[in-house]
Amino acid sequence: YGLEVIEAGVEDETHNTTRFVILAGAAIDPDPLDGPVVTSFVFHVRNVPAALYKALGGFATNGVNMTKLESYMVGGTFTATQFFAEVEAHPSELRLHLALEELSFFTSEVKIMGVYPAHPFRVESAARSA
């Protein structure tokens, strides 16, 4: 990603992945035709039975691979949950557009945090797993 590496090889395991957030004044918008991209977003599910199940269904039915899903309690209560997710697609792709549209039916908020080129490690790992 063009960042300066201060020290390499600090991991305990060779497969460790450390994640960093880079803040920018202007959003980058990689062209999905240039290679694989990742979209990160957060969403709040409505407090109804099967909300998460229903919210995620659109990703499966539209063929969008979700590579990360983390949950966070909102306000320290069990009445609402926020999720952070990453998918292998660009919002301009119809399949992700449709999945996010379906997600919005079952959530109170969806916010795209960023869209960025997939790191070669991610692409190579997926190829090895196939």
* Higher pLDDT, residue 84 or 48: 84
User: pLDDT band at 33, cuts 50/70/90?
Assistant: confident
Q: How far is CA 70 from CA 12, 25, 95, in A?
A: 23, 26, 22
Q: What is the per-residue pLDDT for 95?
A: 98
Domain ranges of the chain: 32-129
Euclidean distance between CA atoms 106 and 45, whole angstroms: 6
Q: What is the per-residue pLDDT for 48?
A: 80
pLDDT at 42 over 70: yes
Q: What percentage of the chain has pLDDT greater than the value 70? A: 90
CATH of domain 32-129: 3.30.70.260
User: pLDDT band at 126, cuts 50/70/90?
Assistant: low
